[in-house]
């Protein structure tokens, strides 16, 4: 019981080969686009490498790049097969390679679906990574004289200005760390001594934020210090002031940015999956139709193309039996002699009856 | 004495026509490029028109857009003529207009060269426009409650952050104007009253700059208020402090940005002019080679092609004579009538 049988005349076979050739070149182009998307995503992730704690999210662009390259190669092979399919002498040499090709194309489709799933599933891990990375960045903001961390201040400042965000969850994160370097603190002054004594770790904490948190849309010049003190500034209410600093946290801003980037690659990936599946199905039809035609006395007559020779269930059973036989090849050898002697006995016993 | 004479047989003519057709397609794309550069420049000027007092001249980008469109048109037409030149039947209908078309192309190439020159020269008026615009912009920084000017603060802040600059010439420009709105000043405080009393106009001047002047590369948190007071901050000397705020003035950085843009566009237009000259010469060769066939009926006969039929000097005197004749043609009619009137 063949699956999805279609009759093919010579002309139909030629049209199928031509259509598949065009489709495979289109798939090559889409593969290149997927590769470029992967490269772009990777570059964007690498740019903010310093505020990310781990590189788990990099698996998405890595797979995209790999699949893009593999897709270019696979579909180029498909176009070569199409070109040779019209020539009866050249087509048979692709026979074995086609089996491998089908396996590779199926794996590519699965990988693409995995990419779409992963880009949603890894959102939580990305947020975690950003949380830890930003926390460290804010902690090391003041260490502009420590080798290895001296650019942390500039990185965080530029990040906050570009993404219009402040702190990890919100601007209050800056109240909990010392972000002014001790080199610029006058330890003899009363104010500094008070602040340092006011907490267990002896840090200089203040209710102030760096300038990069300032919101340019605010109607009044930016207030950086004494933010919780209503009396420190004229006509200022800490609880109702909304536009002074950015209200969004940088973790949220960065997560939104990267999710948006990955979601925008979604339609491209889905269309590549569709194109790859149609190339796969068309190639199967072409293969079976050409093999059928070559088996006939008249190579230009009608032949049948199908997806599977037997039904889905039977094909699956066949595959299982084949796989088990291959596995048994290794195990059969020690039992071979026993098995053959038993078989000889069994052969001997029924003969008297018959 | 013809200029740059070249002998052509059929094969050479075909090759010439194909090459020039190919070059015409490149020239069409170059026309599209000039058009898009003009559009891009126009958008960039529009983006910052607030900082230029809405006074900036859009002459150059408009000219580039216009030139780009005409380039596409004449190069498309030229390409069609080249394509038809291989078929004598089709070429006959283009033959009469070809001379005027070539004259027009030469004139247009001169205009293109002038446009390129203009690109390099427009830097100077832009400098003055920017200086005026920035000065006024800074004056209106505090007017966040005045309709029509309420976005000036945001525009200036974003510009100073993006272009990494502060003030007009340098950061001290902020010391000379009041950039804090009166709504946020406590007029009963002694400090405010002192500052207002200290100058003739009654403005609240201070030695501070807005936050957008701050330089993120500075190792210490940004010092934007009381900048000239060394004792206000620990270990601070405002004479030697270099990384605290941006040192460059915004006029200089914007002029260099727009200047760079215009230099690039100017260089591109010069390259496009050279391409245009090449295709015009190519078309002239096609025209002259197809009109001097030894045997007009036989398309495979030999012919000659040239750039100018006579030498440069003679062509020039010819053109002058033609123009004088055309000028006199108008005058002769009146003189003729008067002469006839007096005679009769």
Closest CA to A168 of A200, A141, A196, A198: A141
Distance (Å) from the alpha carbon of A205 to chain B's nearest alpha carbon: 14
Determine contact, residues B17/B91, Cβ cutoff 8 Å: no
| pLDDT mean across residues, chain B | 88
What sign for the dihedral angle of Cα A209, A215, A218, A220?
positive
Whether A210 sits inside 8 A of B224 (CB atoms) is no
pLDDT attached to residue A1? 63
- Inter-axis angle of helices A250-264 and A266-295, to 10 degrees? 30
The interface residues of chain A toward chain B in range 293-322, judged by CB-CB distance below 8 A, are: none
- Dihedral (CA of A65, A70, A73, A75) sign: negative
Q: Is A7 on the interface with B (CB under 8 A)?
A: no
Q: What is the pLDDT of residues B119-170, one digit of tens each?
A: 999 989 998 999 899 998 899 999 999 998 889 999 999 999 999 999 999 9
pLDDT tens-digit series, residues B73-84: 999 999 998 988
Asked if A211's CB is within 8 angstroms of B184's CB, the reply is no
- In this complex, the residue of A184, A216, A235 whose CB is nearest that of residue B234 is A184
Find all residues with CB under 8 Å of B310, minimum gap 6, and list them. Answer: B1, B2, B3, B318
pTM value is: 0.80
pLDDT for position B341: 47
Q: Residue B85 pLDDT > 60, yes or no?
A: yes
Q: Which residue of A has its CA nearest to B178?
A: A221
Of A161, A184, A185, the CB nearest to B161: A161
Q: Do B211 and A224 touch (CB under 8 A)?
A: yes
Which among B210, B216, B234 has CB closest to A221? B210
Contacts of B162 in chain A (CB under 8 A): none
Is A145 in CB contact (< 8 Å) with chain B? yes
Residues of B in contact with A214 (CB under 8 A): 211-212
Residue B336 confidence class, pLDDT cut points 50, 70, 90: very low
Count the residues in chain A.
354
**CA dihedral angle for residue B80, residue B85, residue B87, residue B93, rounded to 10 degrees:** 80
Cβ neighbours around B128 below 10 Å, total:
11
Closest CA to A278 of A79, A29, A24, A94: A24
How far does the CA of residue B113 sit from the closest CA of chain A (Å)? 39
- The per-residue pLDDT string of chain A (354 residues; one tens digit each, 9 = 90 and over) reads 677 888 888 888 888 889 999 999 999 999 999 999 999 999 999 999 999 998 889 999 999 999 999 999 999 999 998 888 877 778 878 888 888 899 999 999 999 999 999 988 999 999 999 999 999 999 999 999 999 888 999 999 999 999 999 999 999 999 999 999 999 999 999 999 999 998 888 899 999 999 999 999 999 999 999 999 999 998 899 998 889 999 999 999 999 999 999 888 888 899 999 999 999 999 998 888 888 887 777 767 788 777 877 777 887 888 788 888 888 876 655 555 444 444 444 444 444 444
Q: What is the rounded distance in angstroms from the CA atom of residue A85 to the CA atom of residue B234?
A: 83
d(CA B13, CA B20): 11
Greater confidence, B304 or A2?
A: B304
pLDDT of residue B148: 85
Give pLDDT, residue A341: 47
Q: Which residue of A has its CA nearest to B223?
A: A211
Tens digits of residue pLDDT in B165-190: 999 999 999 999 999 999 999 999 99
Asked if the C-beta of B106 comes within 8 angstroms of chain A's C-beta atoms, the answer is no
Residues 6+ apart with CB under 8 A from A272: A27, A30, A31, A33, A34, A71, A112
> Chain B residue with minimal CA distance to A157?
B216
Residue of chain A with shortest Cα separation from B192: A234
Residue B337 has pLDDT above 50, yes or no: no
CB nearest to B183's CB, from A154, A181, A235: A235
For residue A254, give how far its alpha carbon lies from the nearest alpha carbon of chain B (Å).
Answer: 20
Strand ranges (E), A292-331: 303-305
Nearest chain A alpha carbon to B188: A234
The reported pLDDT for the residue numbered B112 is 95
A154 touches chain B (CB under 8 A): yes
Q: How many CB atoms lie within 10 A of CB A266?
A: 13
DSSP codes joined into one string, A60-121: HHHHHHHHHHHHHHHHHHHHHHHHHHT-TTTGGGGHHHHHHHHHHHHHHHHHHHHHHHHHHH
Q: Do B211 and A221 touch (CB under 8 A)?
A: yes
Domain boundaries, chain A: 6-124+267-322, 126-252
Predicted local distance difference test score (pLDDT) of residue B292: 79
Mutate to test the interface with B, among A219, A235, A241 (most CBs of B within 10 A): A219
A235 with B184: Cβ contact below 8 A: yes
Q: Tally C-beta pairs within 8 A across A and B.
A: 76
Q: What is the DSSP letter of B214?
A: B
CB contact under 8 A, B211 and A158: no
CA distance B235 to chain A (A): 6
The answer to whether the CB of A38 falls within 8 A of the CB of A69 is no
CA distance A68 to B7: 53
**Residue A29 in 3-state DSSP?**
helix
Q: What is the pLDDT of residue A344?
A: 45
d(CA B25, nearest CA chain A) in Å:
25
Is B334 a residue whose pLDDT tops 60? Answer: no
3-class state of residue A283 by DSSP: helix
* The pLDDT of residue B331: 64
B238/A230 Cα distance (integer angstroms): 30
Q: Does A267 touch chain B (CB under 8 A)?
A: no
Using the beta-carbon criterion (under 8 Å), do A234 and B184 form an inter-chain contact?
yes
Residue A304, both tokens: 């049948």
Instruction: Give the residue-averaged pLDDT of B232-240.
Output: 90
Task: List Cβ neighbours of B83 (8 Å cut-off, separation of 6 or more).
Answer: B17, B21
Give the residue from A216, A227, A232, A244 with the most B CB atoms within 10 Å of its CB, the best one to mutate. Answer: A216
In this prediction, what percent of chain B has a pLDDT beyond 70?
Answer: 94
ipTM exceeds 0.85, yes or no: no
Confidence of residue B7 (pLDDT cuts 50, 70, 90): confident
Partner A contacted by B25 (CB < 8 A): no
Extract the tokens encoding B242.
């270099």
Whether B313 and chain A come into contact, CB under 8 Å, resolves to no
């Amino acid at each position: 019981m063949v699956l999805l049988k279609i009759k093919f005349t010579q002309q139909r076979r030629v049209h199928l080969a031509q259509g598949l050739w065009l489709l495979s070149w289109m798939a090559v182009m889409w593969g290149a686009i997927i590769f470029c998307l992967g490269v772009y995503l990777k570059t964007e992730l690498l740019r903010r490498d310093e505020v990310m704690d781990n590189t788990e999210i990099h698996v998405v662009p890595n797979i995209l790049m790999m699949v893009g390259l593999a897709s270019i190669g696979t579909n180029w092979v498909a176009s070569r097969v199409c070109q040779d399919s019209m020539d009866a002498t050249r087509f048979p040499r692709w026979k074995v390679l086609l089996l491998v090709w089908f396996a590779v194309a199926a794996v590519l489709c699965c990988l693409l679906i995995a990419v779409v799933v992963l880009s949603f599933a890894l959102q939580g891990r990305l947020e975690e990574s950003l949380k830890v990375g930003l926390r460290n960045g804010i902690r090391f903001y003041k260490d502009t004289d420590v080798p290895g961390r001296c650019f942390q201040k500039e990185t965080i400042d530029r990040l906050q200005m570009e993404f219009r965000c402040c702190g990890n969850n919100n601007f209050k994160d800056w109240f909990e760390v010392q972000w002014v370097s001790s080199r610029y603190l006058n330890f003899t002054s009363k104010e500094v001594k008070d602040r340092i004594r006011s907490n267990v770790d002896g840090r200089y904490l203040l209710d102030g934020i760096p300038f990069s948190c300032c919101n340019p849309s605010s109607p009044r010049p930016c207030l950086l210090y004494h933010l919780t003190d209503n009396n420190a500034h004229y006509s200022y209410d800490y609880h109702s002031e909304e536009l002074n600093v950015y209200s969004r946290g940088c973790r949220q801003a960065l997560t939104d940015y990267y999710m948006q980037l990955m979601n925008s690659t979604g339609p491209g990936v889905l269309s590549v999956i569709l194109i790859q599946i149609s190339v796969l199905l068309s190639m199967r039809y072409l293969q079976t139709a050409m093999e059928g035609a070559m088996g006939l006395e008249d190579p230009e007559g009608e032949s049948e193309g199908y997806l599977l020779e037997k039904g889905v269930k039977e094909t699956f059973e066949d595959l299982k039996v084949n796989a088990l036989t291959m596995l048994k090849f290794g195990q059969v050898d020690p039992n071979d002699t026993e098995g053959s002697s038993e078989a000889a006995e069994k052969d001997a016993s029924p003969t008297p009856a018959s | 004495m013809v200029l740059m004479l070249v002998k052509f047989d059929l094969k050479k003519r075909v090759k010439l026509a194909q090459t020039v057709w190919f070059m015409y397609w490149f020239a069409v794309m170059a026309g599209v490029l000039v058009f898009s550069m003009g559009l891009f420049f126009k958008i960039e000027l529009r983006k910052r028109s607030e900082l230029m007092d809405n006074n900036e001249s859009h002459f150059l980008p408009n000219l580039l857009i216009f030139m780009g469109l005409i380039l596409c048109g004449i190069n498309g037409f030229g390409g069609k003529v080249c394509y038809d030149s291989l078929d004598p039947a089709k070429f006959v209908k283009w033959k009469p207009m070809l001379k005027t078309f070539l004259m027009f192309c030469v004139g247009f190439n001169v205009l293109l060269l002038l446009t390129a020159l203009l690109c390099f020269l427009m830097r100077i008026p832009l400098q003055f426009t920017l200086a005026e615009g920035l000065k006024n912009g800074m004056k209106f920084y505090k007017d966040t409650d005045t309709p029509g000017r309420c976005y000036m603060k945001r525009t200036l802040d974003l510009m100073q952050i993006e272009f990494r600059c502060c003030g007009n010439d340098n950061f001290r420009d902020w010391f000379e104007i009041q950039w804090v709105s009166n709504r946020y000043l406590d007029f009963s405080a002694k400090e405010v009253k002192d500052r207002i009393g200290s100058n003739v106009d009654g403005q609240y001047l201070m030695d501070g700059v807005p936050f957008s002047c701050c330089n993120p590369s500075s190792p210490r948190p940004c010092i934007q208020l009381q900048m000239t007071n060394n004792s206000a901050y620990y270990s601070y000397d405002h004479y030697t402090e270099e990384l605290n705020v941006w040192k460059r003035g915004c006029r200089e950085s914007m002029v260099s940005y727009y200047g760079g843009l215009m230099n690039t566009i100017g260089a591109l237009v010069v390259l496009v002019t050279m391409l245009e000259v090449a295709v015009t010469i190519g078309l002239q060769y096609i025209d002259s080679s197809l009109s001097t066939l030894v045997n007009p009926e036989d398309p495979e006969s030999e012919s000659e092609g040239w750039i100018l039929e006579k030498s440069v000097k003679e062509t020039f005197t010819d053109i002058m004579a033609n123009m004088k004749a055309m000028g006199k043609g108008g005058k002769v009619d009146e003189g003729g009538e008067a002469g006839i009137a007096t005679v009769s």
